[in-house]
Chain A
Amino acid sequence: MTEQTINAPETGGPSWAAQLRQRIFGHLGLTIGGGILTLIVLCALLAGVIAPHDPYVQELTNRFASPVWMDGGGWDHILGTDHLGRDYLSRLLYGARISLLIGIVAALISGMIGTIMGVSAGYFGGKVDAVVMFLITVRLSMPVVLVALAVVALFGGSLFVVVTVLGLLLWDRFAVVMRSCTMQIRDLDYITSAKALGCSTPRILLTEIMPNVLNSLIVVVTLEMAHAIVLEAALSFLGLGVQPPLPSWGLMISEGKDMLLFEPWLITIPGVALFTLIFAINMLGDGIRDVTAPENRN
C-alpha cells in the first residue's frame, strides 16, 4: 500500500481559531468533563451561599435522616444527615472544597518539582538526566500509599500535611512526561537558532521550551489532580488523612462505613461525588490531549 498516496483535502476553510473552537465544542468528552468540573467548582466556591445548613452543626436528635427520595426523607435535609445529625448535602458541598484544594495544591507542588526535574533532564541530558532518571526510579519503587500513610501518621493528619505529602510524592509522571517532551524538541531548529543567537539557558527554557511542552503539562496536571484527590480520599478513609470534623469525602465514606448494612446511601452519596469529580477531570484531560494533539488519539 506504500504507493497509494491519499491527498489530504484542501485546507482553505475556517480559520485556525475557529477550527480549535470547533474541536473543543465538537469533542463530547471535553464538553462533558469541562461542564461537570465547572459545576463542581461553582458548588465549592459558592458552598457558603448554597449550602442549606452549617456543615459542622450537629443535630443528635436527627441522626441518619434519610435522603428525600427514600421513605421518611424530607426536603429539609435533601441528602439526609450523618451519624452526628449533620446535613449531608452541606457537608458534600464543603467537601468539594477540600477535594479541589487537595487536587490543585498537590498538583502545583508536584508539577513544580516534576517539571523542573523533567525539563532539566530532557534539556541538559547526560549526568543530569541520569540523576533524574534514578530519582524517578527510586520514587516509583516506593509504595505511595504506604509512604503517605506513614508520613501522615508521623506528622499527624491535617490538610496541610496531606497536601504537602501528596505534592512531594506525585511528581514522577510530571518528570517522565516533561523529560520526553523536552527531549523531542531540544534539538529542533528553533531551539538551535535561539542558542545560536546567544540566548541564555534560562531564557531558552522559559521562552522556547516551556510554551511547547505546556499542552502535555496541562494533561499531566489533570491526571495528577485526579490522582491526588483519590489518594486523599483513601488516606482520609483509612483515618490517616484529613481529620474530623472536616467534611472530606473520603472521611464521609469512612464514617458511613459502620452503617454500611443499614444506611448504604451514606457511602453511596460521597462515593458518587468522588467518582463524578474524578471522571470529569479525566474526561477533561483526555479531551485536552485529543484537541491539542489529535494525531496521538489512539
Chain B
Amino acid sequence: MLHFFLKRLALAALVALTVSLISFSLLFLAGDPAIALAGEGATDADIHAIRTQYGFDRPVMEQYLFWLKNALAGDFGTSYYFKTPVINLIAEKMPTTMILGLSAISFAILLSIPLGVLAAVKPNSLFDRIALFISVIGQAIPSFWFGLILIVTFAVKLRWVPVSGSDSWQHFILPTIVLGYYATPAIMRLTRAGMLEVLRADYIRTARAKGIRPGKVLFKHALRNAVIPVVGLAAVQLGFMLGGSVIIESIFALNGAGFLAFESISRNDFPVVQALILIFSLIYVLLTLLADLLNAWLDPRIRVA
C-alpha cells in the first residue's frame, strides 16, 4: 500500500515537472518577454535593462531551472499587467474558483448518484429511459450557451439571481449549475452501470435474505460497492471543471482564477497564464492521487491487504 502510494507520488511529481516544462516553453513562444514587461513606449535601453534584470539573456535551460527553482518556492514571477507577484494574484482569486468547483461537483454528485441508483433499480423503465434521454441531451448542450440561456431566464427575466459578479452566494448558483450539469451524465451513467452490476451480486441476495430493508439494501449494501469507481470519475471531473472554470467564470464575470486566466490571456500576461496552467495541472494530479487514496480507503480489499 505504501509502496503503491510512493509510486503514485513519484509519478505525480514527474507529471508536474513535465507540465512545468510545457508551460514554461509557452513563455518563449510568446515572444520577447522583456518587451512585454517593459510596456509601451519603453526605450531600447529600458528593454535591455529588464532583459538583464530578469535574466532573459541567459541560456533557455538555465532560465527554466531558475524559473523552476523559484516556482518551487512559490515565486512565479511578476505579472506584466499588474506588476505584482503572480502568486499573490492567484492566491487572491483561487478560493473563488475552488468554491465554484467544489459546489459544482457537489451539485453533480447530489443529482447524478440518486438518479443513477433509481435508474438502475428499474432498468429500462420509463424513469430510466427519461434519465438516460436527459443525460444524452445534457451532454449535447454547450456549457457557455447553457450559461447564457440561464442568465436570460433566471437573472434577467425572472430576476431570481444576480446576473454576474461574485459578491454573494447567490452569484454562485447559476455558475454551479452550468459547471456541474456537464459532469452529471457521466457520473449518472457510471453509477447506473455500477449499480446494475452490483445488484446482481450474491451478497445483495444475502442482504435481502437477512431481511434488511429494501432501502438499506440499496444504499448500504449496493451503493457502497458501486460508488467506488464513481469516486475516481468525480475527482477527474472536478479537475476538468476547474479547467472549465475559464469559460464559466468569463460568462458570469465570476472573479476567480479562471476569469483571471482568461483576462491574462487577453492581455498577453504570460507569467500569470503559465503559473495558472501549472497550478491547474498540479491540482488535477493531486485530485487523481486523492481519488486513488479514497478508492483504497473505500475498498477494504485494497486497504486491508
Residues of A in contact with B (beta carbons under 8 Å apart): 134, 137-138, 140-147, 149-151, 153-155, 226, 230, 233-234, 237-240, 250, 253, 257, 260-261, 264, 267-268, 271, 274-276, 278-279, 282-283, 286, 298
Contacts and interface: CB of A to CB of B under 8 A. Distances in A.
A247 B143 CA distance: 20
Which secondary structure dominates chain B's binding surface?
helix
A283 B15 contact: no
B193 A298 contact: yes
B273 A141 contact: no
Given A141-B19, A146-B246, A253-B144, A271 B281 contact: no
B145 A267 contact: yes
Given A138-B15, A146-B276, A275-B140, 14 more contacts: A134-B11, A134-B18, A141-B281, A143-B280, A150-B273, A150-B277, A151-B29, A154-B29, A154-B30, A234-B142, A237-B144, A237-B247, A240-B265, A240-B266
B38 to A, nearest CB: 19
Contact of B242 (A143, A154, A237): A143
A230 B139 CA distance: 11
Nearest to A149: B265
Contacts of B288: 141
B142 A275 contact: yes
A146 B142 contact: no
18 contacts: A134-B11, A137-B15, A142-B19, A143-B243, A143-B246, A143-B281, A149-B246, A149-B261, A234-B142, A234-B144, A239-B266, A240-B266, A253-B144, A264-B152, A267-B152, A275-B141, A278-B140, A282-B139
A69 B84 CA distance: 54
Contact of B142 (A145, A271, A298): A271
B156 interface: yes
Interface of B: 11, 14-16, 18-19, 22, 26, 29-30, 123, 136-137, 139-145, 148-149, 151-152, 156, 192-193, 196, 236, 239, 242-244, 246-247, 250, 261-262, 265-266, 268, 270, 273, 276-277, 280-281, 284-285, 288
